[in-house]
Structure 1
Amino acid sequence: MTTDERRKEIISILKKNTEPITGTELSKKFGVSRQVIVQDIAVIRAEGYNILATSNGYLIPTIDEKKRNIQTIVCSHDRYDQIEEELTIMVDMGAKVLDVIVDHPVYGEIRSSLMIGSRMDIEDFMEKVKKSSAQPLSALTGGEHIHTIEVPNDRAYEKIIRKLKEKGYFINE
């Protein structure tokens, strides 16, 4: 298989799947190193494909933006158990946590895709956080951060806000 054929197949795989696929999975499928896949993804992005790199792998979003109920929430906390509790509150109310954003005083907005939509996603994410020596992005801003979330309806969003306020995580903008 040529490099171009592999890249076309990667695009096809990502378009067909609604769940993220790791670079390791792709490297095994094509018999190449994970680094080759990372380079392939960079080239594919340069060709204009919107590929998200989430903590669970690569994904090409396919949802009609007009039909989505996208909201932002500003929160603050400083412990790992609070990260997990905050994410659990949101997904238990039907939200998908799309990303986390911090407003760094020097570098400006720093955003990282999360794509967390279930308790299993939270477990996987928290396992990665705890195993790494890296601090969460919110450590750069004293715990303050923003999440972009997709909610099924306004009622779910209001419930999320109410519960985050009860826990002391929500910051009024």
Structure 2
Amino acid sequence: MTPGKKILGEERRTLILEWLQTSKEPLTGSELASRSNVSRQVIVNDITLLKARNEPIIATSQGYCYFAPSLPEQWFERSVACNHKPEETEEELNLLVDLGLLVKDVKIEHPVYGDLTASIMVSNRKEVAQFVKRIHETNATYLSQLTNGVHLHTIAAKNKQTLDEAEAALQEAGFLLVE
């Protein structure tokens, strides 16, 4: 590709799919825009078109990923209900990833829109730090702020014992929502 030459339409979307499918790391909209010599907004539109074709692309706090629907090996999932202040989010996420968990998403029940889910996809402290940094840099709010701190996470681990340990650790930290 010649520097400065835009990659057009369908060719660009095909390349975006290839880049996402072969990348071991999430790719940001800015990175994809730079590779194809278009604006970030063009990439956002391309991702929307690809999602409309049922391509399994997810937007995470680290960038876009081509999401293979199955978990690695024989992983187990569980939803946990949590409640904490926004400034405790990083502590909560670090507590989970330090146990070797993948925090897949955050869900809330909004009074108007119903269930809202946002992908997080963090599995280590570096990814947690990037997620929190992105929230602060964009002046975004955590979804849980819409529900006074109440939210669900889908967590995944290699075994059920680790999921049990995660619930116990959340309860000990005062983050687990209990009846």
TM-score when normalising by structure 2? 0.90
Residue of structure 1 aligned with 2:81, choices 74, 82, 92: 74
Q: Aligned partners of 1:152 and 1:50: how far apart in 2?
A: 23
The aligned runs of 1:1-173 (5 Å cut-off) are 1-65=7-71, 67-80=74-87, 82-172=88-178
Decide whether the 8 Å contact of 2:75 with 2:159 is kept in 1: no
Identity %: 37
Residues 35-68 of structure 1, C-alpha deviations (whole Å, 9 max, x = no match): 1111111111111201101111111112525833
Residues 101-123 of structure 1, C-alpha deviations (whole Å, 9 max, x = no match): 00112221011111111100011
Q: Aligned partners of 1:6 and 1:14: how far apart in 2?
A: 12
Give the root-mean-square deviation of aligned CA atoms. Answer: 1.5
Q: Aligned partners of 1:79 and 1:10: how far apart in 2?
A: 34
* Aligned residue type for 2:79: T
TM-score when normalising by structure 1? 0.93
DSSP 3-state at the match of 1:67: coil
Q: Aligned partners of 1:34 and 1:131: how far apart in 2?
A: 17
* Uncovered stretches (5+) of structure 2, i.e. residues with no partner: 1-6
* Uncovered stretches (5+) of structure 1, i.e. residues with no partner: none
Q: What is residue 3 of structure 2 aligned with on the other side?
A: none
DSSP 3-state at the match of 1:64: coil
How many residue pairs get aligned? The number is: 172
Q: Aligned partners of 1:131 and 1:2: how far apart in 2?
A: 31
